[in-house]
């Protein structure tokens, strides 16, 4: 399976994917920012890189058309958003329908968009986490592939909560890509996504606060 990864910054989720020994070919890592540190990481792993600056284009549609053309040169089976800080046009998203996935630092559908950790703390939730989902024209609303939850601790700050969530991002994003590469991702007629061989019967449930709290 051929994969193209899109990044804008440090590329920590991209690094987790590159180091996960997945049965895929990483065809290219593309960034909209030439200064993105993730480009250096990709090059160090022997993955071709490219830069397509969004500021060189008059509008989102023009940029997305050029970006799609660059991606399509590699004929990918899957396009991964790994910290790609751009809202993509409907035409772009539909062009890669069911082949475009993203990871979001919240338990969707809760807290779509930005500042998820600050908003989670302000809301007083007891569980927070991250979601791997397929991308659709509605931002952060696509079918969910996998989620991981972490407890929200009484002394958490946005930074400490973000760090704990990021550990789980690095865990579940490679997991989701492996399922996709192995052909285990199943689409139901109602638009929901399941994983062949997966079951909810034996899943542990994270409860916070713990039921045995003093």
Q: Kindly report, residue by residue over 12-21, the tens digit of the pLDDT.
A: 999 999 999 9
Kindly report the average pLDDT of the chain as a whole number: 92
Q: Kindly report, residue by residue over 49-62, the tens digit of the pLDDT.
A: 999 999 999 999 99
Q: How far apart are CA 159 and CA 173, in angstroms?
A: 21
Q: Kindly report, residue by residue over 83-118, the tens digit of the pLDDT.
A: 999 999 999 999 999 999 999 999 999 999 999 999
pLDDT at 3 over 90: yes
Q: Kindly report, residue by residue over 110-122, the tens digit of the pLDDT.
A: 999 999 999 999 9
pTM above 0.75, yes or no: yes
CA distances to 100, 111, 146, 197 from 142, rounded to whole Å, are 10, 14, 12, 22
pLDDT (0 to 100) of residue 203: 45
Q: Could you give the count of Cα atoms lying within 13 Å of 160 in the half-sphere of its Cβ?
A: 8
Banded model confidence at residue 198, pLDDT cuts 50, 70, 90? low
Structure-block tokens of residue 132: 């791997």
Q: Whose CA is closest to 105, among 113, 95, 96, 97?
A: 113
Catalytic residue, candidates 45, 74, 95, 104: 104
pLDDT (0 to 100) of residue 64: 98
Residues ≥6 apart with Cβ < 8 Å to 137: 90, 93, 94
Q: Is 104 a catalytic residue?
A: yes
Task: Kindly report the length of the chain.
Answer: 214
Q: How far apart are CA 158 and CA 121, in angstroms?
A: 7
CATH superfamily of 2-195: Formyl transferase, N-terminal domain (3.40.50.170)
pLDDT (0 to 100) of residue 214: 44
Q: How far apart are CA 44 and CA 102, in angstroms?
A: 23
Banded model confidence at residue 197, pLDDT cuts 50, 70, 90? confident
């Amino acid at each position: 399976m051929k994969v193209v990864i899109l990044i804008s910054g440090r590329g920590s989720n991209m690094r987790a994917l590159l180091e996960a020994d997945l049965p895929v070919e990483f065809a290219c890592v593309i960034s909209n920012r030439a200064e993105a540190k993730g480009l250096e990481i990709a090059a160090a792993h022997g993955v071709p890189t490219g830069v397509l600056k969004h500021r060189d284009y008059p509008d989102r549609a023009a940029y997305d058309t050029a970006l799609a053309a660059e991606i399509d040169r590699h004929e990918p089976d899957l396009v991964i958003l790994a910290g790609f800080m751009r809202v993509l046009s409907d035409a772009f998203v539909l062009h890669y329908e069911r082949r475009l996935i993203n990871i979001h630092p919240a338990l969707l559908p809760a807290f779509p968009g930005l500042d998820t950790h600050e908003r989670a703390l302000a809301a007083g939730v007891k569980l927070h986490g991250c979601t791997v989902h397929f991308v659709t024209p509605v931002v952060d609303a696509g079918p969910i592939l996998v989620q991981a939850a972490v407890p929200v601790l009484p002394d958490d700050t946005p930074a400490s909560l973000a760090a704990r969530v990021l550990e789980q991002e690095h865990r579940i994003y490679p997991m989701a890509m492996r399922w996709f590469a192995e052909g285990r991702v199943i689409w139901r007629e109602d638009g929901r996504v399941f994983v062949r061989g997966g079951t909810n019967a034996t899943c542990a449930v994270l409860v916070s606060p713990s039921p045995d709290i003093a």
